Chain A
Amino acid sequence: MGIAAVAMAALSLGTAAATAQQLPSAQALIDWGVWVAPDGCMYWYADGGIEGYMLDRVDPETGLPVCLQVDTCLVAPTDTLFPTDGYTLTAEGHRRLLDFFRTSGAFSYSIYGHTDARASLEYNQALSERRANAVYQVAREAGVVVERVIGFGETRPRATNSTAEGMTQNRRVEIVCYRW
């Protein structure tokens, strides 16, 4: 029996097992409504009379919350903050970020670094972390609360990496603001 035949056999076995399962019958239904939090993320809720039920809405594939918008109050192209391949802020980049942290008014922030897909995964991972950390140092200088600092390397592009324009968009630092 070839590998394909084994795989087919396993697949049909799995299907048969699933249909033969004894599932408990549903006892009731919930008619869910949607509540949207101030940050745009969605929650299922329902009023049961003297009970309330609530659950965060998640993407079944990724487990991530489902949000109408993301409060990335700053998406800065790194070309305007750092020299090529560098992770020391330019004087202008430093001034801009310091001004941003001092005036944006959120109670805390997260800082995410991203690169384009040129160079190796490892190199891009390290570069994104160092750049995010450089931005974090400015946040500390401004005296604001930072929840977390993460470098995503090239793993979360926002545009294609097959054009120069797309790669420019992918080289970025995102700052997410948390507000009351």
Chain B
Amino acid sequence: MARFLTAPLMVVAGLALSGCLAPNPGVGPNGELPVIARPYDQGIDTVPLSQERNPAVAYDPDGCQAWLMDDGVEGYIGRRRDAVTGLPICNNLYAPGSVVRDYQTGDAGIGDYIPTQSGGVYGAPVGVLAH
């Protein structure tokens, strides 16, 4: 039941595995700027997102689609747009807030943590606008 890890375990595991306990290092000795993010995973997930080919599709509150990937301790989401016009892809095939297909990358290393405090794991999204 990796998806139902308790919160403290998740935080400890996430910090230890991702190797990011150091604070922001500031500017280097010769004025170099710190690189705060890189295009490969810095935890136990060694496969870069650039090789991920099967994102989920998430519906935003307006019914428009986004590509969604849960890559362990990071999550990524990007607006899906028509390549010809740049316009968003919006429809009512699913309710706003729906996630279609598996949203966790195959090599995420750590399962998703779902908070249970606010009204349980299952149910309708609270923040969704009425349509």
Contacts and interface: CB of A to CB of B under 8 A. Distances in A.
Interface of A: 26-41, 43, 45-56, 58, 62-65, 67, 70-72, 107-108, 110, 112, 145, 147-148, 150, 174, 176, 178, 180
The main secondary structure of chain A at its interface with chain B is strand
B33 to A, nearest CB: 5
A26 B32 CA distance: 10
A110 B67 CA distance: 19
B87 interface: yes
Nearest to A64: B86
Contacts of A30: 35-37
A55 B71 CA distance: 16
A66 to B, nearest CB: 9
Given A27-B33, A35-B76, A108-B91, A46 B82 contact: no
The main secondary structure of chain B at its interface with chain A is loop
A65 B83 contact: yes
Smallest CB-CB A-B distances: 8 pairs: A33-B39, A49-B20, A52-B74, A46-B37, A48-B37, A67-B83, A70-B83, A64-B86
A178 B100 CA distance: 14
Given A28-B34, A28-B36, A174-B84, A49 B18 contact: yes
B5 interface: no
Given A45-B49, A147-B90, A50 B40 contact: no
Given A37-B80, A174-B84, A46 B39 contact: yes
Interface of B: 14-15, 18-20, 24, 33-43, 48-50, 52-55, 57, 67, 71, 73-87, 89-91, 93, 100-101
B67 A43 contact: yes
Contacts, number: 140
A65 B53 contact: no
A48 B41 CA distance: 8
Given A49-B18, A108-B89, A108-B91, A176 B33 contact: no
B89 A47 contact: no
Given A107-B93, A112-B84, A176-B83, A51 B55 contact: no
B76 A180 contact: no
Given A28-B34, A108-B91, A176-B83, A38 B42 contact: no
Nearest to A28: B36
Contacts of A26: 33
